[in-house]
């Protein structure tokens, strides 16, 4: 799946040492791509990047995306055909502590990547990854569409909204001709899956609570999010990048989110994790004066379904099952490269079994 499009291609991934970036890098390697990565050192220990030993398997560069000259040198030397830009400061609560750094990374980092690739003739396709939180959240009960206004309350969300404006400007100003790079942005829901150890993530807090033999404590148990396995949006990114590479008219913004049945409160997800793992408990501690976080957020993915033939594969039950399976295998000291590769294969087989159009056509 996708191998006829990515096999042998030179692919640049920014943020490849992060959770989503590491999963994407592994998938691209499985497809036979030649991968170059630009990122900071992994922010956690353990980290999925280290677990998968990706440093030994790709062209690996430690570069801050705020450093334009370093990015330019790397991209000019590697001459990628496709770019996936995932590097970011991705945490809402950290954005309150470090707002200036968040804006620098998420906005000017995106500018630096775009400024470099618009002057690099080898790049034919670029996908800029932002977030579902880029929308001006009205706390309404229906999903946001790509035409809804971007914005954001906290510095993280607002900076991602600003990054979307940057992408739109570069597309219209510099990348509108057929001879230039095709540019799209992707907005995904709350991703979970094995290998994430970042702060302030419900699954991470749950896994740590299991290891410490204590309850998982919830600040906002009724906050409702579009939960999806990390492979779901990655399939959308790969599909989008491939369509751009083949000259498809999809150089715009796209939502990649789960079905409504996977849009559930934090407390519901936590209880599912406890049930699947077979142990653990849940406690509510309240927000205790913590910074503002959205209460309800949903995405409308009808455009991706109708125009890209994309749809999700795993519902929330399979998502929780595969997430717990990965972490339990890790803490049982199993060989995680093979397990990660098998989960990618299992996801692709499930897509084919369900006759998901993007799986059948790629």
The residue ranges of every structural domain in the chain are: 8-361
Q: Residue 296's pLDDT is what?
A: 75
Q: What angle do CA 336, 348, 314 make, to 5 degrees?
A: 90
Cα–Cα dist 47/66, whole Å: 23
| φ, ψ dihedrals at 188, nearest 5° | -115, 160
Cα–Cα dist 206/356, whole Å: 32
Q: Residue 295's pLDDT is what?
A: 63
Confirm if 296 and 227 have CB atoms less than 8 A apart: no
- Of 35-44, 76-85, 219-228, 231-240, minimum mean pLDDT range: 219-228
- Local structure of residue 53 (DSSP, 8 states): T
| φ, ψ dihedrals at 203, nearest 5° | -65, -40
| φ, ψ dihedrals at 37, nearest 5° | -120, 140
Alpha carbon 149 to its chain's center: 21
Q: What angle do CA 105, 108, 110 make, to 5 degrees?
A: 85
Q: What angle do CA 18, 19, 23 make, to 5 degrees?
A: 110
Q: Residue 293's pLDDT is what?
A: 62
Model confidence at 200, pLDDT cuts 50, 70, 90, reads: confident
Model confidence at 362, pLDDT cuts 50, 70, 90, reads: low
354: CB partners within 8 A, 6+ apart: 313
In angstroms, the first-to-last Cα distance of the chain is 5
Alpha carbon 38 to its chain's center: 16
What is the pTM assigned to this prediction? Answer: 0.95
Cα–Cα dist 352/231, whole Å: 15
59: CB partners within 8 A, 6+ apart: 34, 35, 36, 37, 78
pLDDT in tens, 10-39: 999 999 999 999 999 999 999 999 999 999
Half-sphere exposure of 300 (CA within 13 A, CB side): 12
Please state which of the four CATH numbers 3.30.200.20, 3.20.20.140, 3.30.70.260, 3.40.50.720 is assigned to the domain occupying 8-361: 3.40.50.720
Q: Residue 142's pLDDT is what?
A: 86
Model confidence at 1, pLDDT cuts 50, 70, 90, reads: low
129: CB partners within 8 A, 6+ apart: 20, 84, 85, 86, 88, 185, 186, 188, 233, 237
Work out whether strand 253-256 and strand 282-284 pair parallel, antiparallel, or are unpaired.
unpaired
pLDDT above 80: residue 334: yes
Cα–Cα dist 101/88, whole Å: 10
| pLDDT > 70 in the chain, percent | 96
User: Which of 95, 93, 223 has the alpha carbon at shortest distance from 162?
Assistant: 95
Mean pLDDT of the chain: 93
Cα–Cα dist 238/128, whole Å: 12
């Amino acid at each position: 799946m996708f191998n006829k499009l990515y096999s042998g291609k030179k692919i640049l991934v920014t943020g490849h040492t992060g959770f989503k970036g590491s999963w994407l890098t592994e998938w691209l390697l499985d497809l036979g791509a030649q991968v170059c990565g630009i990122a900071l050192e992994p922010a956690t220990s353990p980290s999925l990047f280290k677990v998968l030993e990706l440093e030994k398997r790709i062209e690996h560069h430690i570069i801050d995306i705020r450093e334009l000259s370093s990015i330019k040198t790397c991209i000019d030397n590697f001459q990628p055909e496709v770019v996936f830009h995932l590097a970011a400061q991705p945490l809402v609560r950290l954005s309150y502590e470090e707002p200036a750094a968040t804006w620098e990374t998420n906005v000017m980092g995106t500018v630096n990547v775009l400024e470099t690739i618009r002057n690099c003739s080898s790049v034919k396709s670029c996908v800029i990854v932002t977030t579902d939180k880029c929308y001006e959240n009205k706390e309404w009960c229906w999903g946001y569409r790509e035409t809804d206004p971007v914005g954001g309350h906290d510095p993280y969300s607002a900076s991602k909204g600003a990054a979307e404006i940057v992408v739109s400007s570069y597309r219209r100003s510099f990348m509108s001709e057929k001879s230039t790079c095709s540019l799209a942005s992707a907005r995904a829901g709350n991703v979970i899956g094995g290998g994430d150890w970042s702060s302030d993530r419900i699954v991470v807090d749950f896994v740590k609570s299991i290891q410490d033999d204590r309850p998982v404590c919830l600040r906002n148990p009724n906050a409702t999010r579009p939960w999806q396995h990390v492979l779901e949006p990655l399939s959308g990114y790969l599909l989008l990048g491939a369509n751009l590479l083949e000259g498809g008219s999809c150089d715009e913004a796209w939502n990649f989110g789960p079905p409504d049945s996977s849009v559930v409160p934090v407390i519901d997800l936590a209880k599912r994790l406890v049930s699947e793992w077979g142990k653990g408990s849940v406690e509510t501690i309240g927000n205790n004066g913590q910074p503002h976080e959205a209460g309800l957020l949903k995405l409308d993915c009808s455009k991706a379904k109708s125009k890209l033939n994309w749809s999700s594969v795993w519902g929330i039950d399979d998502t929780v099952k595969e997430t717990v399976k990965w972490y339990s295998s890790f803490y049982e000291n199993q060989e995680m490269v093979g397990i990660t590769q098998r989960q990618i294969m299992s996801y692709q087989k499930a897509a084919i079994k369900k006759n998901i159009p993007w799986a059948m056509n790629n």
